[in-house]
Structure 1
């Protein structure tokens, strides 16, 4: 097994290789505006560090969000393109689940990432790290009662200390965490964990409309 994992759902542009036992190479850089520019060089770096060729990859793992539209689609398109070219499966994993996986917490907790617009993408987890319910996007003040008293992992928590006073790291997900989580689930035969059963492209979790919108009324220009 050699899994190539990527995630662009947060400001971190991250890629990693996992051999089924451990992460053998990883690259992460935080830059919310350069996902498209930085992801492929990150993939090249991890392949070079591991001494592997792209055609040795047996599966792709990609963070499906939730995340902002523009950044999130970079990782999804890259992973599905590689998967199609190589003829290997593409496994979608919730980005919040990746953060939960490396939280190190053994009590109920929350994961919250920055959704911009003064909102957070968030989800609750039980003491075993299993997600409780579906990811959501909300203003922190609107969910204060639901998350009260719970430690919170992720950059979203650090941005809103009034709602998340017990903020913990890591701030952003790593592709290594996603790959390790996917490898663990694959080894256990838990294929239902993935959103793309049957090898279909993973489905992005946008949770809201993109910032960019098609103009409703076009200006008509007539020749003089």
Structure 2
């Protein structure tokens, strides 16, 4: 199964092609990354995402018609960047007639770490702007708390034993840090792999903003 994975929930604009195969064991999947393109620029989501997707396809000798599914990070993330990835994923899915699965972007970061060195108590944080962080806690590979948004000072490190995510914000917590800062295509697909292989019909895409967007329509401002 050939899967397109995209994420724009962080300053990194991420696109990749991932092959997923059933290993024949319950709850397991073989995940192979075929191509990855990442641009670290929070202002370039709309400009670079589609070219990155097309570059991933061409570099591996594929066309959009070869795709079997799309996986997209639904946040939490800032309104403007997040909607670019979700709208692009939905457009590809609609045009090709393939399912589009939304996954929590923090879960994808945790999945990368789980795949690298096993389970454990993990805290994942990403930049929420406004001097805040998006966060979620994991234990044994499963999310046990969050996602949420708050000031770093209001988020306790305990009971987590390690941390991953946005490098400037990871450094605010006294925990051993993993180098995984943003969702990877393989991590995104890993979160959805069981549903992909089982042919589960995806739920409608719902963005995890966790708060009102920064941009407010003029009419809304006048009501305040």
Instruction: Determine if the TM-score, normalized by the shorter chain, exceeds 0.5.
Output: yes
Where structure 1 has 5 or more consecutive residues not aligned to the other structure, the ranges are 192-197, 219-224
Correspondence for 1:214 among 203, 213, 217? 217
* Aligned counterparts of 2:69 and 2:199: Cα–Cα separation in 1: 15
Question: What is the match of residue 154 of structure 2?
Answer: 142
Aligned-residue offset at 1:5: 0.7
Change (3 A) 1:54 1:149: closer
Tell me the matched-pair count.
208
CA distance in 2 between counterparts of 1:136 and 1:86 reads 34
Task: Please give the TM-score of this superposition, normalised by the length of structure 2.
Answer: 0.85
Taking the aligned partners of 2:165 and 2:151, their CA distance within structure 1 comes to: 15
Q: Select 1:111's aligned residue among 111, 124, 137.
A: 124
Equivalent pair of 1:119/1:140 in contact (CA under 8 Å): yes
| Distance in 2, Cα, partners of 1:164 & 1:12 | 25
The reply on whether 1:78 has 2:83 as its aligned counterpart is no
1:203 corresponds to which of 198, 203, 206: 206
Q: 1:33 & 1:178 partners in 2: Cα distance?
A: 22
Cα RMSD of the aligned pairs, angstroms, is 2.0
Cα distance, 1:26 vs. partner? 1.3
Q: Name the CA shift for 1:168/1:158 in 2 (closer, same or farther; >3 Å).
A: farther
Q: TM-score, normalising length from structure 1?
A: 0.85
The offset of 1:180, in angstroms, is 3.5
Indicate the structure with greater strand content: 2
| Uncovered stretches (5+) of structure 2, i.e. residues with no partner | 21-29
